[in-house]
Amino acid sequence: MNVNKLLIVVIGCVALLAATSASIRQASADEAKKTEVKKSELRNQMEDMDEDFKKLKRTVRKAELNEQSLKLLTAIQQRMVACKEMTPERLAKVPEADRAKFLKDYRREMAGVIIEFCLVEQAILDGDNAKATDLYKAIVEREDKAHDVFMEKEEKKK
């Protein structure tokens, strides 16, 4: 009888341990997801914007695709406005004394790019696709430089 009671106690303890372990793993996974969402909201927006930006590369040169270009520009501009309020992940690695300047520079850069996208839009509205294409190329160069300053290396790879 003692063996049976001991076996029941052992099985109960194992079951309790398994349930507790599963709960802890789930809680850890939920917490990681919450943290990941907060950290990756900017990245997700930027990735969506990058897809639109690549599509714009194909449409900006062709006058017959101006309506599509204008829709892409609107989507990009809206994302840019949302993103300028967000905090880059790289901020965590910036020394405390430099963080305010880093955020100001980030926001200034985002505002400047929004202006450039508006200039692309104006060129398209004016029917000057050659100018719009040149402005697009300038944004590509600016984007590469800004990503070096404001993004982590692992963010740029994706």
- pLDDT at position 33, please? 55
The answer to whether position 106 is within a domain reads: yes
Q: Is the pLDDT of residue 73 over 60?
A: yes
User: What single letter denotes the amino acid at residue 95?
Assistant: P
Residues 102-113 pLDDT 10s: 999 999 999 999
- The domain that contains 84 carries what CATH number? 1.20.120.10
Read off the pLDDT of each residue in 125-152 and give the average, rounded to a whole number: 91
What is the percent of the chain with per-residue pLDDT over 90, rounded to a whole number?
A: 54
Give the count of beta carbons closer than 10 Å to the beta carbon of residue 110: 19
- The whole-angstrom separation of Cα 152 and Cα 158 is 11
When computed from its CA atoms, the radius of gyration of the chain, rounded to whole angstroms, is: 25
Q: Is the pLDDT of residue 94 over 80?
A: yes
Number of domains in the chain: 1
The full length of the chain comes to: 158
Structural domain harbouring 83: 40-157
- pLDDT at position 35, please? 46
Q: Is the pLDDT of residue 78 over 90?
A: yes
CA 52, 53, 54, 58: dihedral to nearest 10 degrees? 100
Read off the pLDDT of each residue in 77-95 and give the average, rounded to a whole number: 91
The answer to whether position 14 is within a domain reads: no
